[in-house]
Structure formats: C-alpha cells, structure tokens
C-alpha cells in the first residue's frame, strides 16, 4: 500500500505547489461537458496585474490583492449527469489538506441537495498563507486553490464586482 502511495504521488500532475490534482480527478475532464482550468503562477499573476487598471475601482481592488499571492489555481468540471466522480476522488484531494498548517474552517453537507462545500485555510506564522475551496455538487466538482498571503477582508471587498457575490466577512465564522 505504501509503495502504491509513493508511486501514485510521483505520477500526480502538479496543480499547485502543495496541492496536487489526483490523476483520477484529472481524468474527469474526459467526462465533463465543460471544464475550467486556470493556472496562474506568480509570473502570470504579475503579468495579469500589469493589465489591470488602477483607475477602474473593480480592477484596482484586484490589483491590490495580488501583492501577496503566489498562485491561483482552479479546476472545475461540469457533467451532464450525476455520479461521474466518486467519494474516493474527493478523499484524494481532502487527504492532502489533513496536514499541519491546513485547517478546515467550513464544512457543510446538504443531504437534500447532495452538496458538499469545504473551505480550508493555511496559516503560517499567524497569517493566512493559502485558501482552498472544495465544492462538490451532483453534476459539478470545483476545486479552488489560492496560494499565498490572501486577505479574506480584501476578498470580501470584491463582492458585487466581476460577478463575485457579496461575502459578509463579519458574519463568516472564519478567522483571518
């Protein structure tokens, strides 16, 4: 079992620095009717930042957030029917977040809607160093990883812009 785990880890495509996308989840793109794949490392984030206007309030907010970020990675799969991914697929992602430094701050299961939503924060030296959102719905699976110093307060300020809904950070039980 241990040898299998080592071999599996060696074969995992890199999703981000410390979160690796399991091969079984990567293969979901073949079944998905729509896939979103965003991989912005530091260099690309800097490049994107140069094209954000400091004069437009929306873009200025995003530009302000980029300073501490090392990378933003999103994989999202939308399927035409239920049952295209398994509990094992989710566990392969979750197991990487059950390590020192990462804490699950939100875990909601809706049996009625068959939805799981989990939010993890990485805390380094008392500061937030990463954010992961894992959202599993019957026909959609989304993993978001924001690597680097992310201010939840600044993230909430994006609410109402770019199609980002308003997040009331004061009501959120998560601590920064």
Residues near another protein, by CB under 8 A: 36, 38, 40, 44-45, 47-48, 50-53, 58-59, 62, 72-74, 76, 106, 108, 110, 115, 117-119, 131, 133, 135, 142, 144, 146, 155, 158-168, 171-173
**Residue among 103 and 172 whose Cβ is closer to another protein:** 172
- Min separation Cβ 2 and another protein, Å: 34
- Min separation Cβ 31 and another protein, Å: 20
Residue 18 burial (C-beta neighbours within 10 Å; 0-12, 13-18, 19+)? middle
Residues 6+ apart with CB under 8 A from 6: none
Name the strand (E) or helix (H) holding 117. Answer: strand 115-124
- Min separation Cβ 146 and another protein, Å: 7
**Residue among 8 and 167 whose Cβ is closer to another protein:** 167
- Min separation Cβ 103 and another protein, Å: 15
**C-alpha distances out from residue 72 to 7, 11, 56, 170, Å:** 27, 22, 22, 24
**Residue among 8 and 156 whose Cβ is closer to another protein:** 156
Could you give the CA distance from residue 101 to residue 120 in angstroms, rounded to a whole number?
A: 10
Q: Which of 161, 107, 158, 111 is closest to 132 using CA atoms? A: 107
**Residue among 92 and 119 whose Cβ is closer to another protein:** 119
């Amino acid at each position: 079992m241990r040898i299998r785990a080592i071999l599996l880890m060696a074969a995992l495509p890199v999703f981000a620095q410390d979160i690796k996308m399991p091969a079984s989840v990567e293969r979901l793109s073949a079944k998905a009717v729509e896939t979103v794949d965003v991989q912005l490392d530091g260099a690309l984030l800097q490049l994107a930042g140069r094209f954000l206007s400091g004069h437009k309030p929306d873009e200025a907010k995003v530009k302000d957030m980029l300073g501490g970020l090392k990378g933003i990675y999103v994989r999202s799969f939308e399927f035409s029917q239920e049952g295209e991914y398994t509990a094992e697929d989710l566990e392969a992602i979750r197991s990487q977040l059950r390590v020192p430094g990462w804490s699950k701050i939100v875990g909601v299961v809706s049996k009625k809607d068959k939805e799981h939503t989990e939010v993890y924060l990485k805390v380094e030296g008392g500061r937030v160093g990463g954010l992961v959102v894992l959202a599993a719905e019957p026909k959609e699976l989304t993993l978001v990883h924001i690597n680097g110093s992310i201010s939840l307060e600044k993230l909430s300020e994006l609410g109402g812009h770019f199609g980002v809904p308003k997040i009331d950070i004061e009501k959120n039980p998560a601590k920064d």
